[in-house]
Amino acid sequence: MENFSEKAMEWLSLYGPKLLVALAIVIIGRIIVGMITSVIRKLMTKASIDETLIKFLSSLIRIILLTVVIIAALESLGVQTTSMIAILGAAGLAIGLALQSSLSNFSAGVMLIIFRPFKAGDFVEAGGATGVVEEIHIFNTQMRTGDNKEIIIPNGNIMGNNITNYSAKETRRVDMVFGIGYDDDLKKAKDILVNLVNADERVLKDPAPVVAVSELADSSVNFIVRPWVNSADYWAVFWDFQENVKTTFDAEGISIPFPQRDVHLYNENN
């Protein structure tokens, strides 16, 4: 028992101060890490960075700083941390290579959150899908299609391709083409289209709508009709105009040509 006490006292006298220093490093280090993390969070919040990115980066910074504190504490105990750092570096490299696609999606997610090419609620075409953006996460973006299907798109696919944001601007131009027969009254047809455009209260006066002959096609004379509307009215105006043009043309005797084919039969016996 006496030998054990003597060895314990000897061990405490040898390693006790180092343990106290290591413990102090851990305690003070955690306090400093918490302060640094808090300051970084406040700076990112002040810079209006997305909350999802703030939480992720704050956690990542905290883990890195705590790792440095632990390594410093081990150094104070006399532990050789050079090999440990090398092992951590090699492990980090291996994990990075294994998670290459995930890291690509992460970096793309950071860019999406920082540069904001779209936001939740926007109707976009991105990553090979079209729909309303519901949520933007670090690794993927969640979208909802017009028929209420949920699509999860990796952020790398979005940033690696073109992004079309149909909700980015307050107004949009509705591009439509209507054809009439060559025997129909050109001026009458144009007047009908102009009147229909002017009668729709959803059509904006500025920029002015365009109604013009665009093409003398094989079987029709084609008009382009291009009114400007608020983005929210785009599809309603488009669908209503298709119906109104058809019913008005029918009522006014204006034909809408459709592809036809003449078939000639020959009797080989004659």
210 and 130 part of one domain? no
Q: Pick the residue with more confidence: 93 or 130? A: 130
Strand order in the sheet with 221-226: 176-180, 221-226, 210-216
83 and 136 part of one domain? no
Among residues 98, 130, 153, the one where a domain terminates is: 98
What per-residue confidence (pLDDT) applies to 21? 76
- In tens, the pLDDT along 37-55 reads 888 888 878 877 766 667 7
176 and 248 part of one domain? yes
143 and 158 part of one domain? yes
Is residue 184's pLDDT more than 90? yes
Q: Pick the residue with more confidence: 175 or 69? A: 175
What per-residue confidence (pLDDT) applies to 237? 95
- Whether 266 maps to a domain, the answer reads no
What per-residue confidence (pLDDT) applies to 259? 67
- Whether 85 maps to a domain, the answer reads yes
What per-residue confidence (pLDDT) applies to 230? 94
What per-residue confidence (pLDDT) applies to 246? 95
156 and 178 part of one domain? no
Instruction: Give the span between the Cα atoms of 71 and 24, in whole angstroms.
Output: 13
What share of the chain in percent tops pLDDT 70? 78
Is residue 217's pLDDT more than 80? yes
What per-residue confidence (pLDDT) applies to 4? 58
Q: Determine the average pLDDT of the residues in 181-196.
A: 94
181 and 246 part of one domain? yes
Nearest to 229 by CA among 202, 210, 193: 202
- Whether 88 maps to a domain, the answer reads yes
161 and 175 part of one domain? no
186 and 233 part of one domain? yes
- Whether 157 maps to a domain, the answer reads yes
175 three-state secondary structure: coil
- Whether 34 maps to a domain, the answer reads yes
80 and 139 part of one domain? no
Nearest to 38 by CA among 6, 15, 61: 61
Q: How many domains are contained in the chain? A: 3
Q: What is the model's pTM?
A: 0.61
Which DSSP category does 202 fall into? Answer: T
Entry field: residues in the chain: 270
What per-residue confidence (pLDDT) applies to 67? 81
Helices and strands of the chain, counted as H and E runs: 7, 10
* CATH code: domain of residue 226: 3.30.70.100
85 three-state secondary structure: helix
What residue numbers bound the domain in which 78 lies? 2-98
- Whether 270 maps to a domain, the answer reads no
* CATH code: domain of residue 153: 2.30.30.60
Both structure tokens of 59: 């956690």
Q: Which of 80-94, 148-162, 199-213, 221-235 has the lowest mean pLDDT?
A: 80-94
Tell me, rounded to whole angstroms, the distance of Cα 249 from its chain centroid: 43
- Whether 39 maps to a domain, the answer reads yes
152 and 218 part of one domain? no
What per-residue confidence (pLDDT) applies to 58? 79
9: confidence class by pLDDT, cuts 50, 70, 90: low
- In this structure, how many other beta carbons lie within 10 angstroms of the beta carbon of residue 27? 12
* CATH code: domain of residue 36: 1.10.287.1260
- In tens, the pLDDT along 219-243 reads 899 999 999 999 989 999 999 999 9
- Whether 259 maps to a domain, the answer reads no
